[in-house]
Amino acid sequence: MAHCTGGQNNRLQSSDRRTYDGRMQLLDVFLPSLLIGLSIAAPVGPIGILAIQRTLDHGARAGLATGLGAATADAVYGALGAWGVHWLIQMLVAVRVPLALAGAAFLLWMAWKIARAPAARHAAGAGPVRSGWQHFASTFALTLANPATVLSFIAIFGAMAGRVAVSAPATMVAGVFLGSAGWWVFLSGAVGLLRERFDAGWHRRINLTSAVALAAFAVWQILAVL
């Protein structure tokens, strides 16, 4: 009987230990990763401008699809770092110049397209219906081609390497994605609530401002790598 009781106590202790380890994993890995995803997504940049512009033009779903493309790209880089795929990260750093130039070319094309769009298209509730997958895919590719994203994750994993890559890579990737996605849900929802207040004239001015900002980011990206 004493032996049986001792075995039950050991099982209970083992169960308590797993529960404790799970909670520590949440605190030590998931929450910091959530903040990483949020901190990478939140600063105003070309992706934020695209999300705002697409939300105003096509609605909150288009803005959210744009943001989720960026969040997925962030999660991809998070997975590469968390699972220790250092050779691939090093390869991306080695080709950061062509990546930056390709991303800048895409930004310039987007700026030109937004600037040329007639004001009548952008009245609230107007505009052609586009696939959310198109918004998602274009932003996913643009974020992957952004050298700043690569370098940000290299710096982050340099600081967190031992704890994250070994202990809970899946938890880390989930945290990065949810942190980034949470920001885009907030941004697209907030801008979507204001969308109906802008008439065609305001849409035109916002689009021109967005086009200039995107072009400026493209030029800055080119100068940064040359």
- What does the pLDDT look like over 39-59, one tens digit per residue? 888 877 888 999 998 898 888
The answer to whether residue 25 sits within a structural domain is no
- At a CB cut-off of 8 Å and minimum separation 6, what does 34 contact? 175, 176, 178, 179, 182
Whether residue 155 is contained in a domain is answered as yes
92 neighbors 143 (Cβ within 8 angstroms)? no
pLDDT at 23 over 80: no
Residue 14 lies in a domain: no
| 51-107 per-position pLDDT tens digit | 998 898 888 999 999 999 999 998 888 888 777 676 776 777 777 788 888 888 888
Instruction: Residue 57: name the closest of 113, 97, 106 by CA.
Output: 113
| Model pTM score | 0.76
The answer to whether residue 147 sits within a structural domain is yes
Cα–Cα nearest to 23, from 126, 171, 127: 171
Q: Distance from first CA to last CA of the chain, Å, rounded?
A: 77
pLDDT digits (tens, 9 = 90+) for 147-189: 777 777 766 665 555 554 445 778 888 888 999 999 999 999 9
> Is residue 20 one of the residues assigned to a domain?
no
| Residue 26: DSSP 8-state | I
Q: For residues 187 and 51, is the Cβ–Cβ distance under 8 A?
A: yes
Residue 182 lies in a domain: yes
Give 123's pLDDT tier (boundaries 50, 70, 90): very low
The region that residue 125 occupies, defined by phi over 0 for left and psi between -120 and 50 for alpha, beta otherwise, is left
Band the pLDDT of 16: cuts 50, 70, 90: very low
The domain total for the chain is 1
- Domain hosting 188: range is 35-225
What radius of gyration, in Å, describes the C-alpha atoms of the chain?
22
